[in-house]
């Protein structure tokens, strides 16, 4: 009886982190591809398949700087992936954030094969990049099929110009179709699906974790698609490894903080290879020494990024540092008013809303680009929407779900940190006054909302400036999507803030107290 051992190693959502450092603090941090590379070298064996599940070239200051200053140069991340010898890659939703030229410059130099069953070139009806699946035949061993798919929810977030002539087909349906095709044409011994998406249900309780919008279909993929042996997932930034029904699954965290490992034993009985998963786990990078070769590849880009981040652009009268993420939202940190005020000045809208990322730093007295990027971390642009009063109230009720009361203390609702941390889903508004009563049930918490001293009228139209992610319905604010677009302002909010501060030199931050939160 013949046996063959195969090991699958997986990364996902590394988001352009290479060096083990926190960009806001400049302090050491267990993140990045350099530490991941060390782990891969430790665990790689003769029959290893190395797979990445997407969101690679956006998310860090390094990638921001490259997209803005070096877009025509080869992306250092493609060189790093080639050095690490990735076998298969699937595109993530954030890969489109800086446009197709930036994405193409990464993919063009990539040695790894791209698996993509559902991102389609509209003009040719063929895959936008790569193939729906690839076949790996292990030497003297089994035939393994690798199928790729990306959450088809991308058009709900992305700027239309960044996905021009691209169609995102339903991921579940594409996987069903491709698995069937692979089984009929290739007769593989083992099928891996590499899916940039997560789970809409808890794999143990089988209860929905969120509203089932189609963004995450991992549970349905396993439940409905027969013949998948291993589902590699991402997108949600979770740490998962287990078995659901007859399919194994993984999700290896984010920012290069962990590596997924799956060990498979194949045993040949007559002409058939039978498989058994021996081990499935997620390995953290905690305390791992970085691979110096990876650091060397990105050193020039990193040094340029650090110089860029330390560029001084202006001053404030005092530090505006955010030390507590909950309190910054509960008591509306002055920086939120500042961002909203800049958005209002630039857009000409009547009302502004903004949210903060999951982990934001705020401004020091002497403001640098590092402070701005550490405070506004997403590559968003601005959209002005014509919002009826009743829709504005719906948005306020939605954002009011962010808080709950537990033991007479205000906490962040579990639905905003499970299964994925979503502090960015809480919006704070400027130019309206409103009250949130946390003692009341959802959809009844907004007890007052006025504009210029008058109650908001349900049928009256208000111009509201918001980021493009929210304007397209992101964060389950789907009602904004149908509101008429008045302006689509194609400048990154980060650039807008940098330019505003640079022009003013000395920034005066007006603190507004227009949100009343009642919980006692």
What would the mean pLDDT of 46-52 be, rounded to a whole number? Answer: 97
Question: pLDDT tens digits, residue range 141-164?
Answer: 999 999 999 999 999 888 889 999
Residue 319's pLDDT band (cuts 50, 70, 90): confident
Cα separation, 436 vs 396, whole angstroms: 9
Quote the pLDDT of residue 359: 86
pLDDT > 70 fraction of the chain, expressed in percent and rounded = 100
State the CB neighbour count (10 A cutoff) for residue 132: 18
Among 430, 424, 427, residue whose Cα is nearest residue 337: 430
Query: What CATH superfamily is the domain 312-518?
Result: 5'-Nucleotidase, C-terminal domain (3.90.780.10)
Contacts of 417 (CB under 8 A, 6+ apart): 423
Question: pLDDT tens digits, residue range 201-214?
Answer: 999 999 998 778 89
Range with the largest mean pLDDT of 127-136, 264-273, 473-482, 500-509: 127-136
Among 236, 238, 517, residue whose Cα is nearest residue 404: 517
Cα separation, 440 vs 446, whole angstroms: 9
8 Å CB contact between 253 and 238: yes
Question: In this structure, are strands 312-316 and 506-507 parallel, antiparallel, or unpaired?
Answer: parallel
pTM of the model: 0.86
CATH topology match: 2-305 vs 312-518: no
Quote the pLDDT of residue 474: 87
Among 102, 162, 122, residue whose Cα is nearest residue 488: 162
- Whether residue 301 is predicted with pLDDT greater than 90 in this model: the reply is yes
| Burial (0-12, 13-18, 19+ Cβ within 10 Å), 278 | exposed
Three-class DSSP labels, 17-82: CCCCECCCCCCECCCCHHHHHHHHHHHCCCCEEEEECCCCCCCCHHHHHHHHHCCCCCCHHHHHHH
Among 128, 226, 244, residue whose Cα is nearest residue 184: 226
Length of the chain in terms of residues written: 520
Contacts of 303 (CB under 8 A, 6+ apart): none
Question: pLDDT tens digits, residue range 382-403?
Answer: 999 999 999 999 999 999 999 9
Question: pLDDT tens digits, residue range 400-446?
Answer: 999 999 998 999 999 898 888 899 999 999 999 999 999 999 999 99
| C-alpha atoms less than 13 angstroms from C-alpha of 354 in its C-beta half-sphere | 29
Query: Domain extents for the chain?
Result: 2-305, 312-518
Residue 488's pLDDT band (cuts 50, 70, 90): confident
What would the mean pLDDT of 459-485 be, rounded to a whole number? Answer: 93
Higher local confidence (pLDDT), 318 or 199: 199
Residue 37's pLDDT band (cuts 50, 70, 90): very high
- Whether residue 451 is predicted with pLDDT greater than 90 in this model: the reply is yes
The token pair that represents 312 in the structure block: 């001084």
- What fold, for 2-305? Purple Acid Phosphatase; chain A, domain 2 (3.60.21)
């Amino acid at each position: 009886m013949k046996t063959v051992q195969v090991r699958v190693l997986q990364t996902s959502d590394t988001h352009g982190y290479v060096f083990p450092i926190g960009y806001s603090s400049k302090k050491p941090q267990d993140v990045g591809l350099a530490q991941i590379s060390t782990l891969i070298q430790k665990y790689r064996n003769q029959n290893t398949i190395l797979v990445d599940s997407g969101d690679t070239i956006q998310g860090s200051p390094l990638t921001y700087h490259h997209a803005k200053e070096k877009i025509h140069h080869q992306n250092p991340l493609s060189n790093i992936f080639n050095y690490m010898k990735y076998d298969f890659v699937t595109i993530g939703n954030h890969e489109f954030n800086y446009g197709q030229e930036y994405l193409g410059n990464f993919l063009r130099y990539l040695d790894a094969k791209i698996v993509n069953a559902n991102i389609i070139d509209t003009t040719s009806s063929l895959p936008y990049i790569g193939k729906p699946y690839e076949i790996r035949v292990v030497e003297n061993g089994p035939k393994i099929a690798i199928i790729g798919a990306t959450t088809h929810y991308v058009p709900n977030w992305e700027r239309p110009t960044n996905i021009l002539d691209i169609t995102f087909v339903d991921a579940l349906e594409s996987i069903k179709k491709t698995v069937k095709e692979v089984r009929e044409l290739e007769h593989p011994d083992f099928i891996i699906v590499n899916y940039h998406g997560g789970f809409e249900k808890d794999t143990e309780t089988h209860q929905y974790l969120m509203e089932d919008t189609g963004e995450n279909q991992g549970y349905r993929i396993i439940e409905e698609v027969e013949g998948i042996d291993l589902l590699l997932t991402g997108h949600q930034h979770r740490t998962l490894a287990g078995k659901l029904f007859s399919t194994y699954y993984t999700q290896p965290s984010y920012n290069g903080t962990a590596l997924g490992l799956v060990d498979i034993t194949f045993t040949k009985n007559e002409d058939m290879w039978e498989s058994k998963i021996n081990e499935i786990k997620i390995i953290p990078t905690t305390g791992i020494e970085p691979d110096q070769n990876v650091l060397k590849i990105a050193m020039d880009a990193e040094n340029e990024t650090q110089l860029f981040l330390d560029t001084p652009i202006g001053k404030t009268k005092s530090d505006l540092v955010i030390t507590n993420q909950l309190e910054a939202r509960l008591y509306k940190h002055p920086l939120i008013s500042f961002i909203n005020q800049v958005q209002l000045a630039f857009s000409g809208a009547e009302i502004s809303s903004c949210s903060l990322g999951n982990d934001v730093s705020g401004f020091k007295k002497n403001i640098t680009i590092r402070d701005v990027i550490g405070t506004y971390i997403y590559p968003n642009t601005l959209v002005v929407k014509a919002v009826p009063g009743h829709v504005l109230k719906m948005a306020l009720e939605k954002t009011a779900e962010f808080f709950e009361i537990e033991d007479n203390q205000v906490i962040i609702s579990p639905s905003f940190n499970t299964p994925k941390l979503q502090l960015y889903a809480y919006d704070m508004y400027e130019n309206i006054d409103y009250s949130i009563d946390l003692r009341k049930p959802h959809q009844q918490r907004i007890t007052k909302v006025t504009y210029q001293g008058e109650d908001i009228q349900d049928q009256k139209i208000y111009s509201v400036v918001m980021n493009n992610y929210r304007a397209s319905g992101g964060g389950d604010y789907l009602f904004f999507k149908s509101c008429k677009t008045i302006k689509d302002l194609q400048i990154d909010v980060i650039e807008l803030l940098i330019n505003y501060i640079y022009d003013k030199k000395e920034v005066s931050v007006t603190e507004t107290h227009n949100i009343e939160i009642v919980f006692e």
